[in-house]
C-alpha cells in the first residue's frame, strides 16, 4: 500500500507492523509527531499496545526499560535536550542490555525553548555508551530502518538499543510517498521478541541491574563491546533478508555511496543533507567534475571498512557535520574526527576538509553544496588544504 505521510508517520506505521507492546510518550518537537500517529493507530484499532504518557523524559525511558525487561517490545523517542534529560535511563537501557528502539528527532541543544531545528549532537551524545545509531534520509528508509532496528536490537548476539536519527523538520515534518508492506512479510522478517533466560517473570527468578562495582563493570563493558562488534554482521544479515523478503535492496547497509567511483572529491554527510549534495553532484558531474557523495547510515557501529573502501583512494574528502565537537583534535565535527581516525590505517590517506554547516536547522541548499565542492575541488587541484575546518556560512 502506498501512502503519503511524514517521516514520523512512517516510523509509526513501522511500529504497527512490528506490533510493539508498549510505548511511552512525552511531547517534544520535532519527535512528537510519531506519538500522535501512534496514538491514532491505537485509537483506530490498528495497533494494540500500551500507550503510557510519562511525566517527563526520564520516566519515559525508564518505563520502556522496565517494559522491555518483562518481555515487551517497546518504542520510545525524544529530541534535543529532552533526549538528554533521559540520559540516566538511556545509559541504563544499554548497560542492562534491553533492545529498546528509539526515535531521535534531531534537534539542537540549547536552553529550551532554544532552537527547534536540526543538529546531530543530541543523538551523538550517546555514541560511546552502547547504543546503535543510524541516520535515515527518507520516510521509506525510516519505515524500513525501524523494522531492521528491532531485528538487529533483539538479536541474541546484540541485545543493545538502537537510536534512529531523523533530521528535525526536514524529515520529521515533510511529506513523502512511501510504501507500507503487508504484515505477513514483516512477520517473516521479524521474529517475536525473546529475552530468553533474562526475561523478568515469576517463573524465571533472576536479579537484573544489580549493584556492580570494580569486580564486574569491566566484564559488563566487554560484553557490550562484543555485542557492538557482532552488530556489524547482524546488520548485514538483516539488510540481506530485508531485500529478499520486501524486494527493496539498500545495497551496502552501512553507507550509501553516490557516484563515488572515479571521484576525486567525495563529500560525506548524514541525514537529509544528502538531498542537496546529491543534486550538486549531478550538476557538477554534468560539467565534467569528478565528484561524489557518501552518506553514512550507521554511525554506531562505525563502518570503518566501508569508509576505507570508498574514501582511501580519493584526493579530497569533505565531511559536512551537522554537529560539532568543541575542542576535539582538529576543532571540527564528530563525523569528521571519526572518519579521520578510520582513515589513519588506510594505505592511501586523502586530504580532509570539514564543513560545519546547517546548525540549528539552517538550510544547506544545493548551491551551498556546490560552493563546498568547489572549495574541495580547489584543494584537490592544489594538492593541499588551506583551511581544514570551515564554519560554512557563519556571519562574520
Partner 1 sequence: MVSKRNPDELLKFIPARDSPPYTLVVVYGERSIGDFWTFPDDGTVERVLGAIAKVMPSILTLDDVKRYLESLDKPSERVNRALEAYQSLVKLREVRPGEGLPYKYEPPHLPGWKDMMIGGAIPGLKPNQRNPYFTGGTAKHYRPVINFDKCIKCSLCWEYCPDSVFDVTPDGYFNPALAYCKGCGVCAEVCPVPDTIIMVDEMEFEDGYGKFIDEYRAWKENREAYRKWFESLLPKAQVISVRKR
Please check whether residue 23 is in contact with residue 47, taking contact to mean a CB–CB distance below 8 angstroms: no
219 binds partner 1 (CB under 8 A): yes
Instruction: Name the one range near partner 1 by CB under 8 A: 210-218, 237-245, 268-276, 360-368.
Output: 210-218
Q: Which stretch binds partner 1 (CB under 8 A): 29-37, 115-123, 196-204, 381-389?
A: 196-204
Q: Does 126 bind partner 1 (CB under 8 A)?
A: no
β-pairing verdict for 162-167 and 101-106: parallel
Site for partner 1 (CB under 8 A): which residue of 188, 208, 240, 305?
Answer: 208
226 is a contact residue toward partner 1 (CB under 8 A): yes
> Which residues partner with 266 through β-bridges?
292, 317
Give me the least distance between CB of 161 and partner 1, in Å please: 12
- Tell me the C-alpha distance between 263 and 121, whole Å: 29
Report the alpha-carbon distance of residue 2 to residue 140 in Å, rounded. 10
Nearer to partner 1, 93 or 235 (CB): 93
Is residue 207 within the footprint of partner 1 (CB under 8 A)? yes
Member of 3, 43, 177, 212 binding partner 1 (CB under 8 A): 212
Nearer to partner 1, 218 or 365 (CB): 218
* Longest CA–CA separation in the chain, Å: 70
Query: Binding to partner 1 by residue 206, rule CB under 8 A?
Result: yes
231 vs 311, beta carbon nearer partner 1: 231
Report if residue 203 touches partner 1, rule: CB under 8 A.
Answer: no
How near is the Cβ of 209 to partner 1 at its closest, in Å? 7
Task: Convert 45-80 into a string of H (helix), E (strand) and C (coil).
Answer: CCCCCEEEECCCHHHHHHHHHHHHHCCCCEEEEECH
Q: Considering CB under 8 A, how many residues would be counted as binding partner 1?
A: 24
Binding mask 336-365 for partner 1 (x = CB under 8 A): ------------------------------
Q: How far is the C-alpha of 13 from the C-alpha of 26, rounded, in Å?
A: 19
Among 159, 270, 284, 390, binds partner 1 (CB under 8 A): 159
Exactly one of 111, 205, 287, 327 binds partner 1 (CB under 8 A); that residue is 205
* C-alpha pair distances (Å), 127 with each of 74, 82, 120, 206, 214: 21, 17, 11, 30, 23
- Closest C-alpha among 251, 257, 338 to residue 300: 338
- Secondary structure of residue 66 in the 3-state scheme: helix
Q: Over the Cα atoms of the chain, what is R_g?
A: 21
Name 291's Cβ contacts closer than 8 Å, sequence gap at least 6.
259, 263, 264, 265, 266, 267, 280, 281, 284, 285, 373, 376, 377
According to CB under 8 A, which residues from 76 to 105 bind partner 1? Answer: 95-98
Residues that bind partner 1 (CB under 8 A): 95-98, 159, 197-198, 204-210, 212, 215-216, 218-220, 222-223, 226-227
Amino acid at each position: 500500500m502506498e501512502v503519503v505521510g511524514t517521516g514520523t508517520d512512517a516510523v509509526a506505521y513501522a511500529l504497527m507492523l512490528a506490533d510493539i507492546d508498549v510505548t511511552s510518550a512525552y511531547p517534544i518537537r520535532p519527535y512528537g509527531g510519531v506519538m500522535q500517529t501512534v496514538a491514532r493507530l491505537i485509537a483506530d484499532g490498528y495497533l494494540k499496545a500500551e500507550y503510557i504518557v510519562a511525566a517527563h523524559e526520564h520516566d519515559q525511558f525508564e518505563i520502556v526499560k522496565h517494559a522491555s525487561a518483562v518481555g515487551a517490545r517497546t518504542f520510545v523517542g525524544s529530541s534535543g535536550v529532552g533526549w538528554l534529560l533521559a540520559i540516566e535511563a538511556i545509559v541504563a537501557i544499554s548497560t542492562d542490555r534491553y533492545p529498546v528502539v528509539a526515535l531521535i528527532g534531531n534537534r539542537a541543544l540549547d536552553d529550551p525553548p532554544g532552537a527547534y531545528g536540526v543538529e546531530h549532537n543530541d543523538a551523538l551524545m550517546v555514541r560511546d555508551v552502547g547504543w546503535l545509531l543510524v541516520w535515515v534520509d527518507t520516510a521509506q528508509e525510516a519505515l524500513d530502518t525501524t523494522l531492521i532496528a528491532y531485528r538487529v536490537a533483539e538479536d541474541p548476539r546484540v541485545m543493545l538499543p538502537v537510536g534512529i536519527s531523523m533530521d528535525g523538520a526536514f524529515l520529521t515534518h515533510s511529506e513523502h510517498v512511501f510504501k507500507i508492506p503487508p504484515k505477513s512479510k514483516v512477520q517473516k522478517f521479524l521474529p517475536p521478541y525473546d529475552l530468553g533466560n533474562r526475561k523478568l517473570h515469576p517463573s524465571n527468578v533472576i536479579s537484573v541491574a544489580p549493584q556492580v562495582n570494580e569486580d564486574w563493570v569491566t566484564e559488563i563493558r566487554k560484553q557490550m563491546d562484543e555485542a557492538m562488534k557482532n552488530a556489524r554482521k547482524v546488520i548485514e544479515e538483516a539488510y540481506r533478508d530485508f531485500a529478499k523478503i520486501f524486494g527493496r535492496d539498500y545495497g551496502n547497509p552501512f553507507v550509501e555511496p553516490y557516484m563515488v567511483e572515479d571521484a576525486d572529491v567525495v563529500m560525506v554527510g548524514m541525514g537529509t543533507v544528502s538531498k542537496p549534495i546529491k543534486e550538486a553532484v549531478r550538476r557538477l558531474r554534468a560539467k565534467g567534475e569528478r565528484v561524489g557523495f557518501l552518506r553514512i547510515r550507521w554511525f554506531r557501529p562505525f563502518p570503518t571498512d566501508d569508509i576505507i573502501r570508498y574514501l582511501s583512494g580519493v584526493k579530497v574528502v569533505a565531511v559536512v557535520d551537522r554537529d560539532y565537537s568543541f575542542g576535539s583534535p582538529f576543532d571540527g565535527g564528530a563525523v569528521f574526527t571519526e572518519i579521520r581516525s578510520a582513515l589513519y590505517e588506510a594505505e592511501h590517506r586523502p586530504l580532509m576538509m570539514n564543513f560545519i554547516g546547517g546548525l540549528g536547522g539552517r538550510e544547506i541548499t544545493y548551491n551551498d553544496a556546490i560552493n563546498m565542492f568547489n572549495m574541495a575541488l580547489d584543494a584537490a587541484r592544489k594538492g593541499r588544504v588551506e583551511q581544514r575546518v570551515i564554519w560554512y556560512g557563519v556571519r562574520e
